[in-house]
Structure 1
Amino acid sequence: MTTTFITGANKSLGHETARRLVEAGHTVLLGARDRERGLAAAASLGARFVQIDVTDDASVRAAAADVAAHEGAIDVLVNNAGVLGRVGPVEEYTAADMSAVLDVNVVGIVRVTHAFLPLLRRSPHPVIVNVSSGMGSFGMTQDPARVESQYALPLYSASKAAVTMLTTQYAKELKDVKVNAADPGQTATDFTGGLGHSVADGADPVVALATIGPDGPTGRFIGRSGSLPW
């Protein structure tokens, strides 16, 4: 039985990923900051709720200790929790605005990965999936044919560029772990105001990377159509 921990899984892409992986036979640990919403989401899916705030060191350590006590190990870590951050005139952005986005989207991945790595290494085939975005891709945001080129989201885009690069560097260092980044594409969520394809479609690359075998890729950035430009 594959045990999978997903952050930010009480709604949207995280929730759909959890649903799909439960359906695929995974034991899913549904991580969420809000206890009430997390418990309700986990109960609806047949998952186990684990409270976690990826911006809080103590919360992340407590979540890892909870999983160590109950499951003892995990096979897959999906770093899904993320925020859009401030949107509007770039002249109004502050350093605090940037710090808040990075703390969730990038530093949060480092916190969670660091805390859960010992549990991952108890798996014969450990896997990490970082949910990134085409909005963090130079190639995609500069290609007029891509929808990503039509938007300017400096804070979010910079954070997702960092996520993708962090993924490649972790893949080089963690040779015993498969580490990849997924791009859900423009998905109809709170982030996009309901624009884009379905959450089910957006979850496709996340689920695909969460279910790779021991011969699967590492250090890759993958969307619904396959490998994507950096």
Structure 2
Amino acid sequence: MSDTKIALVTGAARGIGAAIAEGLAARGMTVIAATRADLDVTDDDSVAAFASRYRHDHLDILVNNAGISGGREGQTPGQVDPAVIRAVYETNLFGVIRVTEAFLPRLRESADPRIINVSSGTASLHWNTDPSHGFAARGAMAGYPSSKAALNMVTVQYANAFPGMSVNAVAPGACGTDFAKDLGLSLERTAADGAAIAIRLATMDKPPTATFVSDEGTVPW
């Protein structure tokens, strides 16, 4: 087995995903930067076909980054469009499960397997129920934050199921990417800033497992 680490990053066409892929490649890893053109995480057949084309005998790092906000329309409590919520969950939750399940056999062939699920600080129940925190004061969204909270629980369940594997959720923080622009946000942090925590977990010695972390440390569940 080669000493070169192999990483798969979903949603790597732009933004934080592209920055994660670039950062891992710059650190000497073999990186498979998957985009929706070759891997649609919402489609069973697409995921299965992508996994069947994978030619390495193992996978060291899986970064489940593909995600959507769903936009603000149809997510406001009291005016929810269930179709919008389903679409958000299909990518942000079920897409992660699809890809993870497809690549678990290759991850289990690694000497140091790691799964990094890109979550969001908006998933923190603690922050959303703290009147002093900005998340509690901003307009409510039924889909995106709850999809990421569900992803956090899935992260813990995989960590519990595979104790020899490092499985964590990261909150990259809001960045001035197209994702943020779609929500009408103008931000100074860059995609590279958002990628830093995932890159750290992918490259650090003796990584933790079953954690929810950001650049600033542990994020309260």
Structure 2 length normalisation: TM-score? 0.90
Match of 2:204 among 197, 201, 212: 212
Q: Secondary structure at 2:34's aligned position in 1? A: strand
- Distance across 1 between alignment mates of 2:204 and 2:219: 18
Which structure has the higher relative contact order (CA within 8 Å, separation 6+)? 2
Determine if the alignment matches structure 1 residue 229 to structure 2 residue 220.
yes
Determine if the alignment matches structure 1 residue 132 to structure 2 residue 119.
yes
- Distance across 1 between alignment mates of 2:111 and 2:144: 34
Unaligned runs of 5+ in 2: none
* Alpha carbons 2:85, 2:142 under 8 Å: kept: no
- Distance across 1 between alignment mates of 2:33 and 2:179: 21
* Alpha carbons 1:7, 1:79 under 8 Å: kept: yes
Quote how far apart the aligned CAs of 1:132 are: 0.2
Percent identity, aligned pairs only, is: 40
Q: Secondary structure at 1:164's aligned position in 2? A: helix
* Alpha carbons 2:80, 2:142 under 8 Å: kept: no
- Distance across 2 between alignment mates of 1:111 and 1:16: 23
* Alpha carbons 2:10, 2:65 under 8 Å: kept: yes
Counting only pairs closer than 5 Å after superposition, residues 52-63 of structure 1 correspond to structure 2 as 52-63=39-50
- Distance across 1 between alignment mates of 2:179 and 2:214: 18
- Distance across 2 between alignment mates of 1:175 and 1:63: 27
Counterpart code for 1:111 = R
Specify the alignment match of 1:46 in structure 2.
none
Specify the alignment match of 2:166 in structure 1.
178
- Distance across 1 between alignment mates of 2:28 and 2:134: 35
Unaligned runs of 5+ in 1: 35-50
Structure 1 length normalisation: TM-score? 0.87
- Distance across 2 between alignment mates of 1:63 and 1:190: 26
- Distance across 2 between alignment mates of 1:195 and 1:144: 23
Change (3 A) 1:138 1:196: farther
Q: Deviation string for 1:39-89 (max 9, x for gaps)?
A: xxxxxxxxxxxx21000111111111111xx22221000000000014134
Q: Secondary structure at 1:106's aligned position in 2? A: helix
Match of 1:188 among 163, 168, 176: 176
- Distance across 1 between alignment mates of 2:120 and 2:90: 17
Q: Find runs of 4+ consecutive structure 1 residues off by over 4 angstroms.
A: none
How many residues matched? Answer: 211
Quote how far apart the aligned CAs of 1:145 are: 4.7
* Alpha carbons 1:5, 1:74 under 8 Å: kept: yes
